[in-house]
Structure 1
Amino acid sequence: MEIQGRTVVLTGATSGIGAAAARRLAQEVGLLIVQGPESEADVSDLLRELRAAGSARVEYVSADFASFAEVRRAARYVLRTTDRIDVLINNAGVAGSRSRQLTADGNERTLQVNYLALVLWSDLLVPGMRDGARIVNVSSTTHRMTSLALDDISLAHGYDPVRAYAQSKLAIVTYSTWLAGRLPRGISVVAISPGVISTALLHSMFGGGGAPVAHGAERIREAVLADVPSGTYIDDGDVVAASDDALDETAQDRLAELTRRLTA
């Protein structure tokens, strides 16, 4: 897919890999709609930078993905702004909190922000996507560290921040694989791990190290452009098989049905 002059929606765009991706994309695309949890005033410096980076029109929508009401409000804003989305990049994410937290919607916070909101947001925006558009879901190689607790998806028992984070990333890959054959009008979906990137999230959960955020931004851009089938998983630039858990069709169906109930 060509990206020059296209319309791109990018979540989690105000810090880390997302901000780096926004800086890169603003040099090429025609319309860039970026989302973050902060108010527009709080990210005004970044927005000025993005608008000066190239010829892209840059719009900002503030939404806390811990609230489904805010996800719905933000999606309505996007659809009022454009009905010709070429690329949807779902990058928003948080680290697992030290102790288990529930959102006002009744879900474990990491699961909702990283995964459930991604599904709801995507479902709401698909009607505004062009034929042949692409969805890029940013996951993590940590999806291989755990299995889905489908009978206790909000981890009421045995909560651990790393487990919560890894499960949310496994859910993204599992759902992306399930979704691949079910999107309309030739829309494709790929899930990626951008690599081990030096971000505040990585450091808060796993310590120091990692590649620069520009590395992760380039992996996102590559996933947009990649000539790969819908449902592909890309790990740090390489097309590889996702974990056995993510590829389990029974788990995919169960997760999809559970997700629909939790986001209804």
Structure 2
Amino acid sequence: MSHHVWTAENVPDQRGRTVVVTGANTGIGFEAARILARRGAAVVLACRTPAKAAEAADRIRAAAPGSTVTTLRLDLASQASVREAAEEVRAEHGRIDLLINNAGMLGSRERTVTEDGFEATFATNHLGVFAFTGLVLDRLLPVPGSRVVTVSSLVHRSATLDLDDLQTRGKYRRDAVYGASKLANLMFTYELQRQLSASGAQTVALAAHPGMSRTEFTRDLSPANRFLFDPRIKLLTRWVLQDREVGALGMVRAAVAPDARGGEYYGPPGRAQFTGHPVRVESSATSRDPAAQRRLWRESERLTGVGYPLARLEA
């Protein structure tokens, strides 16, 4: 891998390509959508709140004049919403070149349950992503160069996923549950890549993480932690925090870099991976356990009722 710094300038021409970015109304999802729109991609902002999505679409159009930006209502915490959104995007688009699964939530301090009866963080960060990807995948499969990029986090490295208690009915700790969901994102990516590869599909699956970025995500943190993310103390924090423009580049590189391959993971360089322009990085040994990946996959199919259109090719 070459050692030049990978920036938004490295993004190839995206004209003629359709990109769906979840959670694109704010933070690194917004930045990624803006970068891709500027390069000519038709961008679909898949967001929970239509008003926020519309406002983000206007901002992207202003930054990328002439770009095609549309919005899609998608609440990953609701399997019904996931199904509606998938139907709508399939009705509108005969092909999808890139699906960027960026949306996620930190979770509430107390355990909460979705309308489907799932623990909310796992439901949003993993089961919603699993279901939505599976339901739109047939729009990516025939498209040369199509990719599914799922955004994980640094915190996956200290996380474990209890496959016997995916709904965290046992001891609930917000940070542990969030970490487990981000670990699930990587396990999902690697198993999806294995299945895509086995079925001879043109689509590949990759993952990325933003390092430590200043984003609206931090509004859920304690006041002391929020202070760390305040742009006004940037000089003190710049060694552990980076602007969201740079934080977004990991997912963009995974999505469009010509040399990126299925099963790769992109994030800031160095041992800590807090800050810097994205390079290929390694994920935890736990994330790479094939037996655990397959078990999570089967459980996800069972819980969501979504089967992937790949098993038939594989069998």
Q: TM-score, with normalisation over the residues of structure 2? A: 0.79
What is the CA–CA distance in structure 1 between the aligned matches of 2:60 and 2:266, rounded to whole Å? 27
- Tell me the SS of whatever aligns to 1:61: strand
**Number of matched pairs:** 263
Q: Which residue of 2 aligns with 1:231?
A: 263
2:293 aligned with 1:249, yes or no? no
Q: Which residue of 2 aligns with 1:194?
A: 210
Q: Deviations over 1:87-143 (max 9, x none)?
A: 110001011211001111111101111111111111111111113301110010111
2:163 pairs with one of 136, 147, 150: 150
- Tell me the SS of whatever aligns to 2:146: strand
What is the CA–CA distance in structure 1 between the aligned matches of 2:265 and 2:250, rounded to whole Å? 12
Query: Which amino acid is the alignment partner of residue 228 of structure 1?
Result: A
2:48 aligned with 1:16, yes or no? no
- Residues 146 and 42 of structure 1: is their aligned pair in 2 closer, same or farther, counting only changes over 3 Å? closer
- Residues 91 and 3 of structure 1: is their aligned pair in 2 closer, same or farther, counting only changes over 3 Å? farther
Q: Which residue of 1 aligns with 2:100?
A: 89
- Residues 157 and 127 of structure 1: is their aligned pair in 2 closer, same or farther, counting only changes over 3 Å? same
2:72 pairs with one of 54, 61, 79: 61
Q: Which residue of 1 aligns with 2:301?
A: 260
- Structure 2: give runs of 5+ residues left out of the alignment: 1-10, 230-240, 269-277, 306-315
- Residues 33 and 43 of structure 1: is their aligned pair in 2 closer, same or farther, counting only changes over 3 Å? closer
- Tell me the SS of whatever aligns to 2:72: strand
What is the CA–CA distance in structure 2 between the aligned matches of 1:3 and 1:97, rounded to whole Å? 40
Superposed displacement of residue 203, structure 1: 5.4
What is the CA–CA distance in structure 2 between the aligned matches of 1:202 and 1:75, rounded to whole Å? 29
2:59 aligned with 1:49, yes or no? yes
Question: What does 1:31-42 align with in structure 2 at a 5 Å threshold?
Answer: 31-39=42-50, 41-42=51-52
What is the CA–CA distance in structure 2 between the aligned matches of 1:50 and 1:218, rounded to whole Å? 17
Query: Which amino acid is the alignment partner of residue 102 of structure 2?
Result: N
- Tell me the SS of whatever aligns to 2:107: coil
Q: Which residue of 2 aligns with 1:78?
A: 89
Superposed displacement of residue 22, structure 1: 1.8
8 Å Cα contact 2:45-2:53 kept in structure 1: no
Superposed displacement of residue 3, structure 1: 4.5
8 Å Cα contact 2:46-2:53 kept in structure 1: no
Superposed displacement of residue 55, structure 1: 2.5
What is the CA–CA distance in structure 1 between the aligned matches of 2:251 and 2:295, rounded to whole Å? 28
Segment drifting more, 124-133 vs 233-242: 233-242
8 Å Cα contact 1:8-1:29 kept in structure 2: no
What is the CA–CA distance in structure 2 between the aligned matches of 1:42 and 1:192, rounded to whole Å? 24
What is the CA–CA distance in structure 2 between the aligned matches of 1:202 and 1:146, rounded to whole Å? 20
The percentage of aligned residue pairs carrying the same residue is 35
Q: Deviations over 1:11-59 (max 9, x none)?
A: 00011111122222221133111111112x3443322222232322111
- Tell me the SS of whatever aligns to 1:196: coil
Q: Report the structure, 1 or 2, having the larger strand content.
A: 1
Structure 1 ranges of 4+ moved more than 4 A: none
* Structure number with bigger Rg: 2
8 Å Cα contact 1:190-1:223 kept in structure 2: yes
Q: TM-score, with normalisation over the residues of structure 1? A: 0.94
